[in-house]
Chain A
């Protein structure tokens, strides 16, 4: 199977590039807006959401939180902080489906997210 990832938020082009580079043929990527992405997840047309914004939890996640519920969303990298593999591991295995990160951490956070997702789905 491939993991279907919907990408929204700011610097989508960076998120898309890193996701494709790291994910290869294990992922399929849909680049869209936060709103459309959340609707796609609700409709079962996508599995996970990656989004970035300046704070990592603001614009990136506010719409997914509204549409998918707070308990399904998590910030994996805040502005001024570094993402940590163990923490992301916990969030992924805990069942979160929408992930927000600071634009400045996209390149660090996306590979960690994918690593945890691949582990979870035995890919």
Chain B
């Protein structure tokens, strides 16, 4: 516990410092505005209020809901606030102190909250594991949806049929890697993404033939502020190493894709799905690359977790290569740090290649779009299942009372204009349902 507080505290202190110095922020929307502030066209107070306005909703919805549901810290909870704290602080040391205080504070608060929830007569935290059951299976089909969005019905249906065939071939163990079975979802996603990328590149190659490349505008735009990116590498290496380390220590979930699956894996110690989760995180990361790269090159401000690939490096790659335990922890830190440096060095190269393939950029939009939709459905159904299983003993029949409350809460959020964003609304509704069910139980109303 002490080690956790120290490591998370240091990490948040550094991310807050990175934000204060205009080196890196987590929020993709804050990044392009940072130069206004760093270069003196915007006052600290205004910048802080912009950062707060863009981030607050995510901290309270995704940050809180995902951490409560998974008992794992997450980047929205840790780094969106340190974006803001770094800007608010008038001095470097104040940024460091505020960041550390936030890191230590939320870690203590959520551990305490989990302990309290764990003592309730109806332990709904166990029920919440039902959340994850549909997530990965549903998520694996997102490339199909992305293809429908971007390339229409014909290619979409082809992709759907191909993916399903490949999936079943893996599930029935006809397709293996040297005899080792492949997780059907992983192969399904892989095939889908390959198809999406192939369609995008084919479209661009055709378009590129028709016109000569005009990459000059982009280059001049990127030239101005890339120097700051290079200067940030040492600080960002330490941050990247620490993020990878806390993922390796099983304290962090990196994304909306992995939080429930990681929670279940860490609870059950059944790591067979870990590779699939890491792969899902990798694909999610790829879909964010165009956005992060372009904003970073245009603003000179990087992302505090880089291209987000340090998460799967920490929780999957490091333990797979170097084993669990101390060697794995050290490896996670070193690999995370080195990876972030590599990212930052090749950033310009990625930016330039992206310009020659605009359909790839569009594919990343389609992927994020499809991913969001799929996750909304999966989390909604998973949360509903979780509510249904919030019973006093496992032998009880399904709790339709809890299900009713859940539906009402989710519906209320929709009715009043969705103050909680949809992705987080379902898990949050399930958590509140859990608390309410306990109150009714204690009051002998159930």
Q: Which residues of A contact B (CB under 8 A)?
A: 8-13, 32-36, 39, 42, 53-63, 65-67, 70, 75, 78-82, 100, 102-104
Contact = CB atoms under 8 A, between A and B. Distances in A.
Which of B31, B33, B61 counts the most chain A CB atoms within 10 A? B33
A16 to B, nearest CB: 11
Main secondary structure on chain B at its contact with chain A? Answer: helix
Which of A13, A39, A57 counts the most chain B CB atoms within 10 A? A57
Contacts of A53: 29
A81 B54 CA distance: 11
Contacts of B290: 35
Contacts of B291: 59, 62-63
B167 interface: no
Which of A8, A67, A79, A80 counts the most chain B CB atoms within 10 A? A79
B419 interface: yes
Nearest to A58: B29
A9 B58 CA distance: 18
B31 A62 contact: yes
A39 B217 contact: yes
A59 B29 contact: yes
B27 A103 contact: no
Nearest to B421: A79
Contacts of A11: 369
A55 B54 contact: yes
B324 interface: no
Contacts of B31: 62
Contact of A10 (B27, B358, B369, B418): B369
Given A104-B418, A104-B421, A12 B32 contact: no
Nearest to B36: A70
B330 to A, nearest CB: 34
Given A13-B149, A78-B53, A61 B421 contact: no
Given A36-B361, A54-B421, A104-B421, 5 more contacts: A12-B149, A56-B54, A57-B29, A59-B368, A80-B61
